[in-house]
Chain A
Amino acid sequence: MKELTDYLWPKIKLLLVPYVILMFLLVYRIDFQISAPGGITEVESLIQVDYEVNEIKGSISSTYVISFKRPTIFQFVISDFSPYNQVIILPDYYAHYTDQEIRDISYLQKMTSVDAAVIVAYQNASQVNSEIVFTDSDVYKQILVYGKAAELSNYDQIGLGDEFISMVGVSNNVISAEDIYDTGLENSLVTNMSDEDFHEFTFKGEVGEYQVSLTKTDIEENLSLNQYLLVSQSNIYPKFTEKDSNIGGPSGGLLQTLSIYNMLVEEDITKGLKIAGTGTIRYDGSVGYVGSIKQKIATAYLNDVDLFFIPAIDERYSSHNYLEALAACEEFGINPEGWLIPVASFSEAISYLEGIE
């Protein structure tokens, strides 16, 4: 070792400064977010339904992109060499989250989007296939933590994805999750809290139930609670299984719904096509907007898909996924005619596929 060190030392001294600079570029992280093309994943490989249908000749895939929050300087520089990549300043609502918290949010979005997809797919399939058993009683509600601001009291105690159980109100009355389902978050929690005092909240996380003290400001501004519909599998037919995946986020909702539906009905809606797309699914079957459209179009293009579903123009938003997608198609030289299909709802997507010869 000593002989080799003595031999290499003059060279090491010469390279030391450039080496330290290189390592700095490779490890120092900056507050930006980079989106890059990812891949497509056949929904069938993620969600399987225990039901025999005719052979599915085509495929239905969700599209994922690589979203890199807080890249290193090296990543920031190399991302600029691709027309598909996009760099933005890290949004404020992500700035205080750790990498693990961002993964937790992504996992929560994925988990709840799969349940929404199951609800919409089973409800629609049960209308055309009498063997499918799915009723309103197979769905239950939960209020989950899906965001928290850096100013939140007892920030570290509350986990993303934890379930809200109850709160002790201003006159020692207990507000449970069921009360919120009936009257809404604003009416049931905020109106029962005093402006100055801390109130005791009960949440349920991985370690079981726990109590935490929060103020009215926390509930109004610092803690995001959302009501979700989840599926209980005890009485439904057929059962489904969901595999673990390292892909998160809600944007595969529409394609998950289409694929699950296709696994429940006799007719193969794919017609032998390689179908991909993006868009969240709401419980009423409508399709919601998503981010990173340009990268998703690039991903679909690079994976030779036959048609790509995109959320149709929704006047409630100021910038539109469909227009972004058209711009991306023009940039990459893709003919959107018959390839880029805007849909506002699950039923619109089904109607389009049924109309294909």
Chain B
Amino acid sequence: MKEFNILWKSFIKEVNTSMIFETLFASLFYSLFIIIPTILIYAQIISMYYHLLNLWIGLIIISVIFIHYFQLILWKKAIYLKKDEVKTNINKLFMYQLFIDSIIIVIIGLLFIFIFIPMMQI
């Protein structure tokens, strides 16, 4: 966690905040082209195979992690396209970021499986 913070500080120092946000929004924008059909596909599969809901939640967790990974790749690419030489190890920084976000995604998914969905099934 300490190394993750150090990497972020160094990254912010090296690549200014406006560039970080600009590249982040660009990566989010292009990720939407995958997110929108994915949401539609899952919503429609769940409506047809509702009895396998927990399986779909499991697959949604995996898909969200993969989409997030894709978005981080786009973000990294956008940064390198703006600035060729970045000394901070972005690969390592984003892997840490993916790991932390994945844990959060898994926790939210499990909350749905064990708490929210049983609550909604009335």
Residues of A within 8 A of B (CB): 1, 3-5, 7-8, 19, 22-23, 26-27, 34, 36-39, 41, 45-46, 66, 68, 71-72, 74-75, 78-79, 82, 84-85, 243, 245-247, 298-299, 302
Contact pick for B40, options A8, A26, A41, A85, CB 8 Å? A26
Please encode chain B, from 103 to 121, with 1 for each CB lying within 8 Å of some chain A CB and 0 for all others.
Answer: 0000000000000000011
Q: List 11 A-B contacts (CB under 8 A).
A: A7-B81, A8-B30, A19-B37, A36-B48, A37-B51, A41-B121, A41-B122, A71-B44, A78-B49, A84-B51, A243-B122
Which 8 pairs show the lowest CB-CB distances between chains A and B? A3-B81, A26-B40, A1-B26, A4-B78, A4-B26, A37-B51, A75-B44, A45-B122
In the bound complex, residues from chain B placing their C-beta under 8 Å from that of A299 are 51
User: Are B44's CB and A72's CB within 8 A?
Assistant: yes
User: Are B50's CB and A38's CB within 8 A?
Assistant: yes
Write the chain B residue with the least CB distance to A45: B122
User: Are B121's CB and A82's CB within 8 A?
Assistant: no
In the bound complex, residues from chain B placing their C-beta under 8 Å from that of A23 are 36-37, 40
Give Cα A37 to B47, complex, Å.
Answer: 10
User: Are B48's CB and A4's CB within 8 A?
Assistant: no
Contact pick for B29, options A1, A41, A84, A302, CB 8 Å? A1
Q: How far is the CB of A180 from chain B (nearest CB, A)?
A: 35
Q: How far is the CB of B102 from chain A (nearest CB, A)?
A: 24
In the bound complex, residues from chain A placing their C-beta under 8 Å from that of B92 are none
Contacts A1-B26, A4-B26, A7-B77 given; does A68 touch B48 at CB 8 Å? yes
User: Are A26's CB and B47's CB within 8 A?
Assistant: no
Give Cα A85 to B44, complex, Å.
Answer: 14
Give Cα A84 to B48, complex, Å.
Answer: 10
Residues of B within 8 A of A (CB): 22-23, 25-27, 29-30, 33, 36-37, 40-41, 44-45, 47-51, 74, 77-78, 81-82, 120-122
Write the chain A residue with the least CB distance to B46: A66
User: Are A34's CB and B26's CB within 8 A?
Assistant: no
Most buried by A among B23, B40, B50, B51: B51
Give Cα A298 to B36, complex, Å.
Answer: 32
Give Cα A347 to B2, complex, Å.
Answer: 70
